Amino acid sequence: MTTPAQQPLPITGIPRTGLPAHAVVVGDPARAAAVAGLLDDAKEISYHREYRTFTGTWQHLPVVVASHGVGAPGALLLFQELAEAGVTHFIRLGTAGAIRPGVGDGDLVVADAAVRDDGVTRQLIPAEYPAFAAPEAVLALQRAARAAQAPYHRGVVWTRAAFQPGFLPLPAEAYERAGIAAIEMELSALYVFASTRGLTAGGALVVDGVNADELVDEEATGGYDPHRSVVADGVTRAARITLDALRLLAAEDAGLPAQTSPTTR
C-alpha cells in the first residue's frame, strides 16, 4: 500500500519528488515524445490528460521533458507540479505566430519577456507585475542558437488566451508598432510563476505562421498550417538548441566551462 508521499501528483501524475532540476516544457504530447527521442535513456514516467512526461539525459545532463497542452491555465498546473517534484530550470519550447516584420517561418524567437494577456496570471498577482525571462536563460538560448547557426530573434512576445479573434477589438496593431516579435499562448504564465518562486525560466518559440488575426482571407493566404516541413525542421533544430541551453545553464550553476559548439546528435 502506497503512502500519500508515494502517490503521484494529482494533475500530471508525475512523482512527487526526485525529478531532475532541468526541464523542457512543450504544448503537444507528441512533441514531448519527439524531444525525448533525442535523449539518452529516455523513459516515459507519466501520461495523464494532456500531461505527458519523460526523463532522460542530454550530454550527461539529467532532464525532464513534459507537455502541458494548449493554454496558460492548464500549463500553469504542470509548472507547479514540476517545481514541486524538483524542477528549478524551465525552458518552454513552443510555436508562435510572427508579428514583427522580418521574423520568418521556422525561425527561433528567444523571448526576453511576455505580454500578460494569458487569462490566468491576473487572478494570481496584480497586472502591473512583469512577465520576464531569467537573463541567464535568454543568454544561454542565444549562445546555443548562435553555435547551431540557427536563424533567431530576441524580443518581447504576446501571450494571449484566445487563439482565434472574436468580436472584441484587440491591440494587435499597437503591439506590432511596439515591436512585439510573436504571439503564443502560455509563456507569460511560466515567466510569472518562475520569477515569483525564484526559479529560472526561458522561452524558445518556433515561428509557424503569422498572427492568426491576419488570416482574414484564408483563400488568399492559404490559412494557418503549422504542419509544414519548414516548421518541423525548425522545431527539431530548436529542440537541440533548448537542450543545449539547459546544459549551459547547468554548467554555469556548477561553475564549469560550458562548450558552445553545436551537438552532433
Mean pLDDT confidence for 34-56: 98
Give residue 118's pLDDT: 97
C-alpha cell at 151: 536563424
Q: How confident is the model at residue 163 (pLDDT cuts 50, 70, 90)?
A: confident
Q: Which of 252, 259, 206 is nearest to 95 (CA)?
A: 206
C-alpha cell at 169: 477589438
Bridging pattern class, strands 89-98 and 152-160: unpaired
Domain ranges of the chain: 4-254
C-alpha–C-alpha distance, residues 245 and 140, integer Å: 5
Tell me: pLDDT of 37 over 80. yes
The DSSP call for residue 12 is T
3-state secondary structure (DSSP) of residue 109: strand
Q: How confident is the model at residue 256 (pLDDT cuts 50, 70, 90)?
A: confident
Whether the model clears a pTM of 0.85, i.e. scores above it, the answer is yes
Superfamily of domain covering 4-254: Nucleoside phosphorylase domain (3.40.50.1580)
Q: Rounded to whole angstroms, what are the CA distances from 174 to 68, 121, 170, 179, 185?
A: 30, 22, 9, 9, 18
> What confidence tens digit (pLDDT) does each residue in 173-231 have?
999 999 999 999 999 999 999 999 999 999 999 999 876 455 434 444 567 788 899 99
Percent of the chain predicted with pLDDT > 70 = 89
C-alpha–C-alpha distance, residues 116 and 196, integer Å: 14
Tell me: pLDDT of 232 over 60. yes
The DSSP call for residue 164 is S
Give residue 264's pLDDT: 41
> What confidence tens digit (pLDDT) does each residue in 1-26 have?
455 667 999 999 999 999 999 999 99
> What confidence tens digit (pLDDT) does each residue in 126-153 have?
999 999 999 999 999 999 999 999 999 9
Percent of the chain predicted with pLDDT > 90 = 82
Q: How confident is the model at residue 259 (pLDDT cuts 50, 70, 90)?
A: low
Largest CA distance in the chain: 61
Long-range contact set of residues 221-227: C-beta below 8 Å, sequence gap at least 24: 226/95
